Each structure stands twice: as C-alpha cells, then as structure tokens.
Chains A and B, each alone.
Chain A
Amino acid sequence: MTKNLRVKSSEYIDETNRISFKFNGKTYHGFKGDTLASALLANNVHLVGRSFKYHRPRGIMTSGSEEPNAIVQLNPGTNRTEPNVRATEIEIYEGLEASSQNCWPSVEFDIGGINNFLSPFFPAGFYYKTFMWPPSFWKKYEFFIRHSAGLGKSPTSSDPDIYDHRNIHCDVLVIGAGISGILAAKNAAKNNFKTMLVDEKNELGGTTIFENNEFNKIDNKTPSEWLKKEIEELKHIKNLEIKTRTSVAAYHQYNYLLARENLTDHLETKDKTNKIRQRLLKIRAKKVILATGALERPLIFNNNDRPGIMLSSAVKKYSEFYGVACGNKNIFFTNNDSAYESALSLYNKGINVEAIIDVREQSESKIVKKVKEAGIKVYWSHTIVDTAGYKRLNSVSIMKLSNDGTSVTGSKISISCDCLGVAGGWTPAVHLYTQSGSKLKFDEEKQIFLPNQNTSEQISVGSCGGDFKIDEIIKNLNQKLKDTLNIDETDLDSIKVEIDQENSKRNIWLLPSDKPLGKTKPFVDYQNDATAKDIKLALREGFRSIEHVKRYTTTGMGTDQGKLGNMHALGIIADTAGVKMGELGTTTFRPPYTPLTFGTIVGRNVGKFFDIFRRTPMNDWHVENKAEFENVGQWKRAWYYPINGETMHQAVQRESKAARESAGILDASTLGKIDIQGSDASEFLNRVYTNAWSKLAVGKCRYGLMLNEDGMIYDDGVTTRLGENHYIMTTTTGGAANVLGKLEDYLQTEWPELDVYLTSVTDHYATASLCGPNSKKILKKIIPDLDLTDENFPHMSFKEANIGSIQCRIMRISFTGEHSYEINVQASYGKDLWKKCIDAGQEFNITPYGTETMHLLRAEKGFIIVGQDTDGTMTPIDLQMDWIVSKKKYDFIGKRSLYRSDTMREDRKQLVGLITEDPNVVLEEGAQIVSELNQSPVEMLGHVTSSYFSPNLNKSIALAVVRGGKHMMGKQLFVPMENKNINVTVANPVFYDEKNERLNA
C-alpha cells in the first residue's frame, strides 16, 4: 500500500529536509513544508478516519480548514495531546504522532462499521425516537451510546504550554492573504493606514499562488509568478504587520475581532518548551477588509464519501503546491470549468487523468479545449450514480443525465479510478461577514449567498464578495479600496489582466441515481453522516425551518460546522419544499470559525492567575501559624488554626471555648468599608437602611440592615458616626463591591440632590477583632491611657486612640456576643497591630480564631449571616427582626415591598432555632425539614441554614428557615436523612446569653 506519490519538486516543499512521523503507530516520511494530509497522501494513505454515525471509512477531502473527515488525535497519550485536529492544517515536524479517531479497534477494522449495514435502521432523529421509552431506561441506553459515540479524547494531564493574549488596534485589518488580501493590505499600508494582514496558512498567496492556468495572465505573467513579486514587495512596506498561521475565529460588532496565532505548533517538541504556543489577538480595527476567499463545493451523489473522493481544488493544490499526486488513476466530476484547471495541472505534471464527467452539456472555454487536446475523455451531461471501493475508491459508475437533471437514462458505464476530484462550484466564505451582524442576499444566477448590507466599516473583496474571475476581482477591489480608504489612486489602476474563464455552471443540488433515493447514500454532511435522504425525511415529518432541519438531522453541527455541505442542505430543502433559497435564509454562522483551544481562550489566566485573590495585611502571620484558609469572595481568609494535628472540628471547638472563656482574636480586615461624607450623609443612611440614623450621636455605632427594593435582605453591617457629616459603613466581606455599586446607583440616579460622597476604603484599613472577657485587659495593656470604663467607652461606641505613634479607630462592637473591640489601623500597620495584640494577650492565652469559629460563635447568639441564613427571599420580618424596621420613617429602600400581600403572608419561611433530640447529633446544613414522616410526597417546610456543635452549650444547635416557623415554637419536626430521621424541636434562635449580659462582662 505504501508507495511514493511525490511527483515533482515544489518550491514550497523542502526535499532536503526529510521528516519522519507516525500515523496510527506506523512510521512515514514527509518533507518540511508538508501538512500531515499532504505527507499521508504522498504515502498513498487516504483512509484516515471513520465517520461519526455509520463508522464508514473516510479519507482526506480538502486541503484546508474546511476539512470534515481527516480529523485526528495529535500526539495521543502525551500531555500535549489534542483531539479533532484537521490533518490538512497540521504542519508536520520530526517526531509528530497522530492517530485516527472514532474507530475501535483500528481505522482499518472498526467494529462500529456494522452501523453502516444497519443504516436503514438509523434515520434522522433515530436517537430521539428510539431511546425515549421507557423513560427510566435512559441511564442504560446512555452508557452504550456514550461508549460508541464521541470524537477524540481530551488530555488528562495539565497543559505544559504557555498561552497569551494581545490587544491590537489598527486602522485596517485585512483577513485572508490571497490575491485580493495582498493587494488590499499593500494599498492600505502605502496610504499610511496602520494595517494588519492575517492568514491561517503559513504561506501567503491563497490559491492564486499555485494558479498556473496558462490562459490567465496578469501583466503578461501567470497569476502565481505575478503574485510572488507582489508578496516580495510587501516585505518592504511600513505600517504593515503580517501574521501568518493566524486564524480569525470571531468577528463581533464594532469591528472587534478575535484571532488565534499559532506560534509553536509546527515546531519539534524540543523547540516548543518555554515558548508561547498560541496567542489570542483581540483586534479593534477601524476598517475591516474581508478577503476570506471561497470554499469549493462538493457534489451530492450516491456514495460520495469514499476515501479517494476529494475536492477538485484540493487535488490541484496537492499536486501544484505540495507536489503530491492523490492517485494514479484520477478522474474529475464537475459542473463548471474549475475541474479542467485541476485536470490540466495534473496532466502537466505527468499524472494520469482518465476522464472528466461533466453534468453540463458543453463548455467552449480554451481550457476545456486544451483538456480535450490532451486526450482526456470528457463525458458531457453525465453524472456519477454510484461509486465502489470500501476503504479506497476503485471505480465509479456513470449514466447520462435527463434534460431536467432529475433522472438518469441509458446504460451504465463503469470507470476504474483511485481518486475522484469533485468540483461543484464555489461558495463565498461569508462566515465572518455574517458573524459581524451583516446581512446576506441570495444571488439566483450564481446560486450563492453574497454580502449585502454591512453593519460596520467593512468590505468584502475577491471571491468572498462574489468575484471569481481575476479581472473582476481586480476591477472591483480597486473601486472598493478607493471608496473605503477614501483614496484617488491605487497600484491596481495600471494592472493588465487577460483571462479565459467561463462562468457556465449547471447547478443540481442533489444528483440523481438509477436507484431510488432510499437505497442510496448521498452524504451532505460528511462529519455527522447526514444524507440527502435524512433531510428529505425531516421535511416529510413536518420540519420547515432550516434551523429545525439542521438540529433534527445534525447537518452542519460537526466541528467543521458544515462548511462543505450546508449550501446543498439548503438547496435540497428549497427544491423539495418548493421555496426559493433566498427566502429560506441560512443557518447562523457562529464563532469560532475554526475550533479554538481552551488554552488560547484563557491565556495567562491559569493557576494562580485563574481568579485574582486578595490577602489581608496579617496574612503572613496566619501562614506562619499554620492557618487553614477559605475563600470568601476574592479574599483568602484564615479558616481555623489547627495545633498538633487537630482536625477542623477539634480546632474550632478549642477556639470557640477560648473566645468565650478568656480571649480570642479574629482578622476582620476583609469586611467591606465605605467612607460616607457630606451634609446629607445621615439622610442618605436613613434611606438605605431599614432603621433610623438621624439621632445616632457622633462617636456611636449602629447595626443596619439593607434591603433590596423588593424588600429582601441585601446586606448588613455596623456603621459608625465619626463626625457630624462623616460615617464609616461596614459591609459583608463578599458584598462590599455590590453595596458600593448599589449606593452609587441611588445617589447618582435617584437622589442626585443629596450631598453625599462615597469612597471604598476596604483596603485602607486592617482590622483586628479582640473578643472575650479578657479583651478589655488586653486592650488596656496596648493602650494604657485610654479610659475603657463602660461609662466612657460603652458597647456600640467608638474612640480614636494611638498605639505608640500609630493612630487607630476602635469600635466596641460584637459579632460574638462577648465583650469585644474592633481595632482599625492603616493597612500597612496591620501585622504590627496583630502581633502587639497577640503579645499582650499571651498571659490570657489569647487564641486566634478563624471564620469557622466566628460563624459558630455568632450562631450561638442567633446572629444571621447574609447569604448563609438568607438567600434573597428573606425579609427582616421573616428573620423575626421586626425591631430593626422603622415604622416611623416615611420611606427607605424596600419599605413598600414589606407591605405587599406576598411579603405579609404569615406562612412564609421564617428563621427559627432547632434543637436536636439527641444533643450530639449535628444536622447537615441544607437538610430539609418536614412535619410528617408517613406522608408521600411529603411537604418540605424549610431547610437548615447553619448548624454546629456548640462547645459552650455542649449540644448541637442549628438555625433554619421553616414555613410559618414563627408560630411553631416548641413544636417537634423531623429532618429526614438518608439512613435515619432526626427529631428536632423548634426553638428561639438565640441559644446563648439571651439577655446579652456578657457584652458588658
């Protein structure tokens, strides 16, 4: 089978640089400049994969990013493995390994191939129809379906490569470096526009660079010769940045585009290390010039998917550009002149062309004559009705087409061959154009969709704009460039073009066979195995919208997004349903144009940079003292401080006891802090909190509850009046940014008349919270001259003081129910303050405690945590916190909503305490609560929101929200768990020191 099909040296292939690579475990050789596809074809390997549904053998079809079949797993089993890569895009390098996908045990013998013979039982919608019943069986079906479906395998270890993002701003972005793109970029740059030219290939020049049709001349040179000279000139132009191996993935509104630049994928493994593999370019362009070219269409006929059946343009590119013959006995099947160029290209290189089958009645162009002169047999008005050869095409059967093109007549002729080039005309690559929001129009004459209404500053030039002949391309490009760049003359003015191209084409979306459609397999979407039959079935079953037909048949839903077959699907629908293509519209082209790696998308945002995090000024101390951390919003907060291998439970029990019995210290720096100033500051607080603020004296603190306009609790915290017109508000750690945003919103949009200024000062201060019966003694040691008597410094008040020369703000407030102080200093002194407290507290066994102990201590007191005990559906009344809602205030945010019929319902979920019958049983947070055990289905009354074992009460305690719980005090309820039912009693949520005596202890 292996045989060298390298025909003639090509300037793009470096035959002095021989490269070995492995495909499906077997070693092959290619040359520098080869793609995996061209190197395999040079080794006469066509069979590269199996199709998705029927597991039919499939070969390389194209030479570009539109490839539906030749998708491979790259470097399998390594940490650089990548699935679903198009063999037509991979440049080979020494040591490259690739393997086929979707086949088992091998691509040569695939057990799934049985599906091909069962295919009459696998029509469109097969899975939807079959595996629905009985519903409970889905889990069993799924196991088998998952095992037999799927494309490649994703890597299992982390990606060793580096990825990057770059922002680019340019005047003109030119996408596609074919003849149009090159001329556009050159003229834009020459006229002082900062220009960028990108192309997905590694060489510039598009298809023109290997266009050697002797009947086409530009300035008396062949198009390829002429273009090489132009490319050479590009290198000396200022203002022009050229990016090859760069594929534009997305074209968003306002000329914002994303492109992926491949930097190391073509390098040997040893050269990939420590380099950026792929870079995402985020481009803002003032003007975009789309020169994305056109994709050749296949033809839809019976068994049109065998290995060896390729696009005619691909056959030509492999021969002209890569110097590879795709077969020894080539034939072409066409509806236009393109195949004749391919045939002649092969003929000129000495490759055998057996025949051309043309659905047209005739063509008079010079190139057709030349082909005939070369002795190549042309079958006019003929179509292929069947093909043969399981793993490689070996013959085709042709018959004469009827005049209307819907049936075949006469006798069948069989032609033996090993490669068939198919030419169905050209489809402008308008994918990016439509992504930008611009609209298409169907051209009935050319049977293509063309750009029609642009939404941003953009033009489509060359074949993606509908110009296929070189003279048209240059003429229209010249005019479009002048208009869009607002220039009077270009290089294009003086170009002389001679051409011989005929536009004649006979478009038949679905070619007939001598067999009825039901007995044939004319593939429309090769990757997803959707046939013309499936599309017609969908229409018969009542699907009309193109979007529905697409989803039902999966046409165009593969990784290639149906770049080849979508037009045929539309055509077949239009023909069958008797509507016009233009009225049918197209399916939506969505980004990315070609698949992106996750690495490219995330760029540098991996590992430590995946999500930013914030640390408090005391963080080093916590680390040195072996704290475990938890994430709270973006913050890393000390969670608990295990000693001598304590478990979390042991550490928290010890910390909680110490805080109540002697002294504890908590790093509270993460609490949000908003500085509020202005002559209307008090009025502002009145409007944003539920309680009254006007009468709060300077130097006093007050707890506030903030609602949303819908009456639901949004945030809470203590606010201190520092001066007549000056407050400092604290918010929850996670809510800080949102609270500031919400307050700013009201200030700027609803109450602009208020004289209030808000400043976030969260990061400006470090806060140590000292708590416990000995906290006062410790503070006294640190600040001996501050009068700490209850008369001078009572609970809920504030003092300014100095620790040495460091100024600090001290609030006597408590979230634990103990006598406690929150000491705030400038952030840079935070660690120093902390150490001073620890040192001073030594004799009292001061115990640092983390967030877990803080949660436990506040739960003992029945203090809520917004976001844990509330979830955006709880009003202050639901929390039994009626005391904090001012009845006197005329208005505050959310007030009116507290009187809506729904928020006033008595049977809303309300916050209660729960005591377990067995004091050692700790409920699970989130566990459901019921009142009946023998009922099915049972009504859920609510759920547990906070639950701990309290070392200070020596029993388990829990907070919960229970429907109508307010009136259930003392009632027995149940918490059903997987293995047992737990008996609980509804209790007052304040479990500890109900009279608040310890605050002044």
Chain B
Amino acid sequence: MFLINCPYCGERDQQEFKAGGEAHIERPKQPTELSDDEWAEYLFMRKNIKGIQFERWNHAHGCRKWFNMVRDTSNDEIKAIYKMGEKPPSQ
C-alpha cells in the first residue's frame, strides 16, 4: 500500500487514489485524419514496463485532481510526482 504525495493535498494512503494508466498519451487533435492503425495505436496500445514508468493517478477520494507519477514498477518506488501539464522530470 503506497503512500502517495498528492501535489494538492499532501501525503495520503493509496486507498484514496485511483490509478489511470500510462501518462503522456495525448488524445489526437484530429482523430478523423488518422488511419485505423494510427487510431488503434492511440486507443489500445499501452506500454507495460518493468522499471521506470510514467503514469496517471487521480486523488479520487480526495481533491479529485489528476496528476502524474513516475514509478519504478519493479520495486514500486515512487520517483516523482508532478501536476498535469507540467513537464516530466528528466531521468
């Protein structure tokens, strides 16, 4: 059970949060221009990394804000947390 430092509320127990999958996948601005394959790439394809992963989290039972997390999936160490729209920290 992680301790997550919500950028708006501070350190809280994981059960207040919801994981939202891989981060930094932008919704295409012009979906109609995309081929089936390109659209499928956006819609279905996600990385499943052992190691450093960028992911979205939502403080669902708190401020309801979405934010980003850098987590090492091999040992669940949270490396960084930053707000939506902010640049990911360089590795």
**A273-281, A319-327, A892-900 - the one binding chain B:** A892-900
The CA-CA distance from A896 to B36 in the complex, in Å, is: 9
| Inter-subunit contact A752/B39 (CB<8 Å) | no
Distance of A897 Cα from B42 Cα, bound (Å): 11
Can you name the residue of chain A whose Cβ is closest to the Cβ of B64? A744
Q: Which residue in chain B gives the minimum CB-CB distance to A439? A: B75
Against B, the Cβ 8 Å flags (1 = close, 0 = not) of A735-757 are 00000010011001110100000
Chain B contacts with A in 24-62, Cβ cutoff 8 A: 26-28, 30-32, 34, 36, 39-40, 43, 56, 58, 60
Chain B residues within 8 Å of A, Cβ to Cβ: 1-3, 13, 18, 20, 26-28, 30-32, 34, 36, 39-40, 43, 56, 58, 60, 64-66, 75-77, 84-85
* Contact of A136 with B by CB under 8 A: no
Give A141-173 as 1s and 0s: 1 = Cβ < 8 Å from B's Cβ atoms.
000000000000000000000000000000000
Contact in complex: A748, B75 (CB < 8 Å): no
Beta-carbon contact of A253 and B1 below 8 Å: yes
> Of A253, A455, A709, A890, which one neighbours B32 at CB under 8 angstroms?
A890
Report how far A252 CA is from B13 CA in the complex, Å: 13
Beta-carbon contact of B31 and A284 below 8 Å: no
Residues on the A chain within 8 Å of B66, using CB: 744-745, 748-749
Q: In this assembly, does A901 line the interface, its C-beta being within 8 Å of a C-beta of chain B?
A: yes
* Residue A678 lies at the interface, judged by CB distance under 8 Å to chain B: no
Which residue of chain A has the shortest Cβ distance to B28 in the bound complex? A896
The chain A residue sitting closest to B39, CB to CB, is A896
Contact pick for A748, options B36, B77, B84, CB 8 Å: B84
Determine whether the beta carbon of A896 is less than 8 Å from that of B84.
no
Among A233-260, those with CB < 8 Å from B are 252-254, 256
Residue in contact with A745 in the complex, picked from B2, B26, B58, CB distance below 8 Å: B58
A284-B3, A741-B58, A752-B84 known; 14 other A-B pairs, CB under 8 Å?
A: A252-B1, A253-B75, A254-B1, A455-B75, A709-B27, A744-B58, A748-B65, A748-B84, A890-B32, A891-B32, A896-B28, A896-B31, A896-B34, A901-B36
- With a 10 A CB-CB cut-off, give which of B3, B31, B64 has the most chain A CB atoms: B31
Q: How far is the CA of A901 from the CA of B39 in the complex (A)?
A: 12
Residue of A nearest to B77 (CB): A455
Can you list 15 pairs linking A and B with CB atoms under 8 Å apart? Answer: A253-B1, A253-B2, A253-B75, A254-B1, A254-B2, A256-B1, A455-B77, A741-B18, A745-B58, A750-B27, A752-B84, A752-B85, A890-B32, A896-B31, A896-B34
> Does A710 interact with chain B (Cβ within 8 Å)?
yes
Enumerate chain A residues within 8 angstroms of B36, measured Cβ to Cβ.
Answer: 900-901
Contact of B75 with A437 in the complex, beta carbons under 8 Å: yes
Contacts of B65 in A (CB 8 A): 748
Bound CA–CA A345/B43 (angstroms): 71
Query: Contact at A253–B58, with CB atoms within 8 Å?
Result: no
Tally of A-B Cβ pairs under 8 angstroms: 56
Tell me whether A900 and B1 are in contact (CB under 8 A): no
Partner of A749, one of B3, B34, B56: B56
B83 → A minimal CB distance (Å): 10
Decide: A749 and B84 in contact? CB cutoff 8 A: yes
Q: Which A residues fall within an 8 A CB radius of B?
A: 252-254, 256, 284, 437, 455, 709-710, 741, 744-745, 748-750, 752, 890-891, 895-897, 899-901
CA distance A709 to B43 in the complex (A): 7
Chain A residues positioned under 8 Å from B85 (CB to CB): 752
Point out the residues of chain A lying under 8 angstroms from B34, CB to CB: 896
CB distance from A902 to the nearest CB of B (A): 9
> CA of A750 to CA of B24 in the docked complex: distance in angstroms?
10
Which B residues lie within 8 Å of A437 (CB)?
75-76
* B60 engages A897 (CB within 8 Å): no
Q: Which residues of B lie under 8 Å from residue A895 when comparing CB positions?
A: 31-32
CB contacts (< 8 Å) of A900 on chain B: these are 36, 39-40
Closest approach, in angstroms, between the C-beta of A285 and any C-beta of chain B?
11
Contact of A710 among B43, B75, B84 (CB under 8 A): B43
A750-B27, A752-B84 known; A253 vs B60 contact (CB < 8 Å): no
A-side contacts of B56, CB under 8 Å: 749
Given the interface pairs A748-B65, A749-B66, A752-B85, the reply to whether A897 lies near B39 with Cβ below 8 Å is yes
Complex Cα gap A744–B66 (Å): 9
Closest-CB distance, A835 to chain B (whole angstroms): 36
List chain B residues, Cβ under 8 A from A901: 36
Give complex CA distance A455, B67 in Å: 25
User: How many whole Å from A243's CB to the nearest CB in chain B?
Assistant: 20
What residues on B are CB-neighbors of A455 within 8 Å?
Answer: 75, 77
Knowing A900-B36, A900-B39, the reply to whether A891 touches B31 (Cβ < 8 A) is yes
User: In the complex, A284→B11 CA distance in Å?
Assistant: 12
Q: How far is the CB of B52 from chain A (nearest CB, A)?
A: 16
- A residues in contact with B76, CB < 8 Å: 253, 437
A254 contacts B58, C-beta separation under 8 Å: no
Q: What residues on B are CB-neighbors of A752 within 8 Å?
A: 84-85
A709: chain B residues at CB < 8 Å are 27, 43
Would you call A745 and B20 a contact (CB within 8 A)?
yes
User: Using Cβ atoms and an 8 Å threshold, which residues of chain A touch B28?
Assistant: 896
Q: How far is the CA of A252 from the CA of B3 in the complex (A)?
A: 11
Name the CB-closest residue of B to A744: B64
Q: What is the CB-to-nearest-CB distance from B13 to chain A, in angstroms, rounded to a whole number?
A: 8
Q: How far is the CB of A78 from chain B (nearest CB, A)?
A: 36
Chain B residues, CB < 8 A from A899: 32
Among residues of B, the one whose C-beta sits closest to the C-beta of A745 is B66
The 4 A-B residue pairs with the shortest CB-CB distance in the complex, in nearest-first order: A896-B31, A256-B1, A748-B66, A254-B3
A-chain residues with CB within 8 Å of residue B32 when the two chains form the complex: 890-891, 895-896, 899
Chain A residues with CB under 8 Å of B13's CB are 284
- A254: chain B residues at CB < 8 Å are 1-3
Distance, CA A890 to CA B60, complexed state (A): 31
Q: Which residue of A lies closest to B44 (CB)?
A: A710
- Nearest A residue to B1 via CB reads A256
In whole angstroms, how far apart are the Cα atoms of A901 and B35 in the complex? Answer: 11
Q: Which residues of A contact B77 (CB under 8 A)?
A: 455
Q: How far is the CB of B75 from chain A (nearest CB, A)?
A: 6
Cα A685 to Cα B65 in complex, Å, equals 21
| Interface hub of A437, A745, A749 (most chain B Cβ within 10 A) | A749
Shortest Cβ distance from residue A153 to the other chain B in the assembled complex, whole angstroms: 33
Chain B residues whose C-beta falls within 8 Å of the C-beta of A252 in the assembled complex: 1
In the complex, A437→B58 CA distance in Å? 25
Q: How far is the CB of B65 from chain A (nearest CB, A)?
A: 7
How many Å from the CB of B45 to the closest CB on chain A?
Answer: 13
Please give the distance in Å from A112's CB to the nearest CB on chain B: 42
Identity of the chain A residue whose Cβ is nearest the Cβ of B3 in the assembled complex: A254
Nearest Cβ distance between residue A794 and chain B, in whole angstroms? Answer: 35
In the bound complex, how far is the Cα of B84 from the Cα of A284, in angstroms? Answer: 29
- Measured in the bound complex, the distance between the Cα atoms of B35 and A896 in whole Å is 10
How far apart sit A254 and B2, CA to CA, in the bound complex (Å)? Answer: 6
CB distance from A743 to the nearest CB of B (A): 11
Please give, as numbers and ranges, the residues of chain B lying within 8 Å of A284 by CB-CB distance. Answer: 3, 13
How far is it, in angstroms, between the C-alpha of A238 and the C-alpha of B58 when the chains are bound? 40
Distance from B85 Cβ to chain A, minimum over Cβ atoms (Å): 6
CA distance A745 to B84 in the complex (A): 11
Chain A residues whose C-beta falls within 8 Å of the C-beta of B39 in the assembled complex: 896-897, 900
A749 to B21, CA, bound (A): 13
Minimal Cβ-Cβ distance residue in B for A711: B43
Quote the shortest CB–CB distance from B35 to chain A (angstroms). 10
- Write the nearest CB–CB distance from B36 to chain A, whole angstroms: 6
B60, closest chain A residue (CB): A741
Residue of B nearest to A747 (CB): B66
State how many angstroms separate the Cβ of A238 from the closest Cβ of chain B. Answer: 26
CB distance from A53 to the nearest CB of B (A): 37
Could you say which residues of chain A place their CB within 8 Å of the CB of B26? Answer: 750
Q: How far is it, in angstroms, between the C-alpha of A750 and the C-alpha of B85 when the chains are bound?
A: 10
A897 touches B20 (CB 8 A): no
Min distance, Cβ A962 to any Cβ of chain B, angstroms:
26
Contact A897 B43 (CB under 8 A): yes
A703 to B64, CA, bound (A): 27
Please name the residue on chain B nearest to A740 by beta carbon: B64
**For residue B27, which residue of chain A has the nearest CB?**
A750
For the complex, what is the distance from the CA of A474 to the CA of B27, rounded to whole Å? 60
| Distance A284 CA – B34 CA, assembled complex (angstroms) | 49
